[in-house]
């Protein structure tokens, strides 16, 4: 059978269009860069490193895009970024440092400056304006340190708040987490009393073990303790997060396997949510709130699961989301200790698995909050990953709820 030149040209054009369509459908489009803090080896003194992964927009699968960079010390325990996603900060418990990295357009990191802390850090946070860095740590006493930021550069220590318990001023308070409200009006620190909670050791205090310390942020970044602070928070609060509308605060209780919720009142005063606390898996260690303010996710380190909750917006009360498998929990790799939701579309959830040396990925259904596993999960990571953070890539809009 013969074709005219016009017919041949049309056939070639059609085939070319088909091939282009197929290729474009198979192209990997990076929606986020995901950073994983871990160790370069299994030894206690192994240097810390930060691995860089790209998240695929369609599948949520992670692939390593650049070689790992040194974290600037040993035992990196937490990371944070500025809201413009141009700066990343990592705290290293092994040498008590905060290290500042500049983030390039391709997701690569370049170390810029560092400060040495007056205590061993456990957590950090950056305010929305990118003007203050808050670092919590120590235990004798526990402290909250405030550092000013200028175009990402860390300034000199500007303030330190000592965490003490009224009536039990000599008790050792150990901070476990810190968060800043989206409108920068308040800072909260989760901590527990080591004299009142000491598994396998001596308990020599009758104080309630778990607490949240609240501070209102004033002019020039000055911190003023909230009325009634500190607020009771179970036995061993392990992490905390506030919703995007600054109305609710949630805390995981590692020792009691529960999620504690609070309403945030004026001047950063906390009131317990009705019907709480709420059941989690075993030893909840981290939590994240959907950037739309609709769902909460909790990583349970002992049961190696991820719990999902839907937030009742009028009251803030969370209710369990049942997965498609009929289970209340979603299986991760071994011992998830850190949890993030992708900031570009809010469609993917990732956990850093400390014993699994991996990252587990889940697809988030924005209509129900239910999770399903991403393609090829879990993804191999370095030794004993401890923290995750992510930034959006390119022109993808960040999903947020306006206060």
pLDDT for res 221: 87
How far, in Å, CA of 397 to CA of 311, rounded? 23
How far, in Å, CA of 209 to CA of 252, rounded? 14
For residue 21, being part of any structural domain is answered with: no
pLDDT for res 286: 98
Is the pLDDT assigned to residue 265 strictly greater than 60?
A: yes
How far, in Å, CA of 268 to CA of 282, rounded? 30
pLDDT for res 386: 97
Mean pLDDT over residues 20-35, rounded?
Answer: 66
Query: And the tokens for 231?
Result: 């607020």
Under the banding of pLDDT at 50, 70 and 90, the label for residue 403 is very low
Coil, strand, or helix at residue 334? Answer: coil
As a whole number of angstroms, the longest Cα–Cα distance in the chain is 97
Is the pLDDT assigned to residue 164 strictly greater than 60?
A: yes
Mean pLDDT over residues 30-50, rounded?
Answer: 89
Query: And the tokens for 33?
Result: 């860069």
Q: How many residues in the chain? A: 403
**CA-closest candidate to residue 82, choices 149, 178, 177:** 149
Beta bridge partners of 353: 336, 358
Under the banding of pLDDT at 50, 70 and 90, the label for residue 5 is very low
For residue 246, being part of any structural domain is answered with: yes
Query: And the tokens for 293?
Result: 């303010």
Condensed to tens digits (0 to 9), the pLDDT of residues 110-162 reads: 999 999 999 999 999 999 999 999 999 998 899 999 999 999 999 999 999 99
* Residue entry with tokens 């924005």: 366
Average pLDDT, the chain: 90
How far, in Å, CA of 202 to CA of 53, rounded? 44
**Full domain range(s) for residue 153:** 29-392
How far, in Å, CA of 95 to CA of 93, rounded? 6
Q: How many domains are there within the chain? A: 1
For residue 367, being part of any structural domain is answered with: yes
For residue 218, being part of any structural domain is answered with: yes
Is the pLDDT assigned to residue 374 strictly greater than 70?
A: yes
Is the pLDDT assigned to residue 402 strictly greater than 90?
A: no
Mean pLDDT over residues 268-284, rounded?
Answer: 95
pLDDT for res 24: 38
Coil, strand, or helix at residue 13? Answer: helix
Measure CA of the first residue to CA of the last residue in the chain; give whole Å: 68
Is the pLDDT assigned to residue 13 strictly greater than 70?
A: no
Under the banding of pLDDT at 50, 70 and 90, the label for residue 17 is very low
How far, in Å, CA of 24 to CA of 167, rounded? 66
For residue 7, being part of any structural domain is answered with: no
For residue 10, being part of any structural domain is answered with: no
For residue 6, being part of any structural domain is answered with: no
**CA-closest candidate to residue 256, choices 270, 276, 229, 231:** 276
Condensed to tens digits (0 to 9), the pLDDT of residues 58-115 reads: 999 999 998 999 999 999 999 999 999 999 999 999 999 999 999 999 999 999 999 9
Task: Output DSSP code: residue 220.
Answer: G
Is the pLDDT assigned to residue 12 strictly greater than 50?
A: no
Is the pLDDT assigned to residue 213 strictly greater than 50?
A: yes
How far, in Å, CA of 151 to CA of 229, rounded? 32
**CA-closest candidate to residue 182, choices 129, 146, 111:** 129
For residue 205, being part of any structural domain is answered with: yes
pLDDT for res 323: 72
CB-CB contact of 153 with 112 (8 Å): yes
Mean pLDDT over residues 330-347, rounded?
Answer: 96
Q: What CATH code is carried by the domain that includes residue 252?
A: 2.130.10.10
CB-CB contact of 374 with 344 (8 Å): no
CB-CB contact of 341 with 401 (8 Å): no
By percentage, how much of the chain surpasses pLDDT 70? Answer: 90
Condensed to tens digits (0 to 9), the pLDDT of residues 216-259 reads: 999 888 999 999 999 999 999 999 999 999 999 999 999 999 99
**CA-closest candidate to residue 386, choices 2, 108, 121:** 121
Beta bridge partners of 252: 239, 259
Under the banding of pLDDT at 50, 70 and 90, the label for residue 182 is very high
φ, ψ dihedrals at 64, nearest 5°: -70, 130
pLDDT for res 329: 80
pLDDT for res 197: 96
How far, in Å, CA of 367 to CA of 324, rounded? 13
Under the banding of pLDDT at 50, 70 and 90, the label for residue 27 is low
Distances (CA, A) of 338 to 286, 297, 300: 5, 11, 10
Mean pLDDT is lowest, of 227-236, 273-282, 324-333, for 324-333
């Amino acid at each position: 059978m013969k074709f005219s030149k016009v017919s041949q040209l049309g056939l070639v054009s059609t085939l070319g269009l088909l091939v282009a369509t197929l290729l474009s459908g198979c192209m990997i489009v990076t929606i986020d860069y995901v950073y994983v803090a871990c160790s370069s080896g299994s030894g206690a003194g192994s240097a810390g490193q930060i691995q860089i992964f790209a998240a695929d927009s369609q599948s949520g699968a992670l692939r390593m895009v650049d070689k790992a960079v040194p974290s600037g010390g040993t035992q990196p325990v937490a990371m944070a970024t500025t809201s413009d996603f141009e700066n990343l900060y990592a705290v290293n418990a092994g040498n008590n440092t905060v290290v500042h990295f500049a983030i390039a357009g391709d997701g690569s990191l370049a170390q810029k400056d560092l400060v040495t802390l007056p205590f061993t850090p456990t957590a950090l946070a950056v305010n929305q304006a990118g003007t203050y860095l808050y670092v919590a740590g120590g235990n004798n006493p526990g402290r909250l340190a405030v550092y000013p930021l200028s175009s990402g550069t860390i300034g000199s220590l500007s303030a330190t708040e000592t965490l003490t318990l009224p009536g039990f001023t000599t008790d050792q308070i150990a901070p476990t987490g810190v968060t800043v409200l989206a409108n920068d009006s308040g800072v909260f620190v989760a901590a527990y009393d080591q004299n009142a909670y000491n598994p396998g050791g001596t308990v020599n205090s009758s104080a309630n073990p778990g607490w949240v310390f609240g501070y209102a942020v004033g002019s020039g970044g000055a911190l003023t303790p909230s009325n009634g602070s500190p607020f009771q928070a179970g036995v061993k609060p392990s992490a905390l997060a506030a919703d995007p509308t600054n109305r609710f605060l949630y805390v995981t209780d590692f020792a009691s396997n529960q999620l504690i919720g609070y309403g945030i009142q004026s001047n950063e005063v906390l009131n317990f949510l009705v019907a709480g606390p709420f059941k989690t898996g075993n030893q909840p260690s981290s939590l994240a709130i959907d950037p739309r303010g609709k769902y909460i996710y909790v990583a349970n380190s002992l049961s190696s699961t991820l719990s999902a909750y839907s937030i009742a917006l009028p009251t803030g009360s969370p209710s369990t989301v049942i997965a498609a498998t009929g289970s209340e929990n979603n299986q991760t790799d071994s011992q998830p200790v850190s949890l993030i939701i992708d900031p570009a579309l809010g469609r993917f959830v990732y956990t850093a698995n400390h014993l699994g040396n991996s990252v587990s990925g889940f697809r988030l259904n924005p209509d129900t909050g239910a999770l399903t596993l991403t393609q090829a999960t879990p993804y191999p990571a370095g030794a004993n990953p401890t923290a995750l953070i992510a930034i959006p890539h390119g022109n993808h809009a960040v999903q947020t709820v306006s206060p």
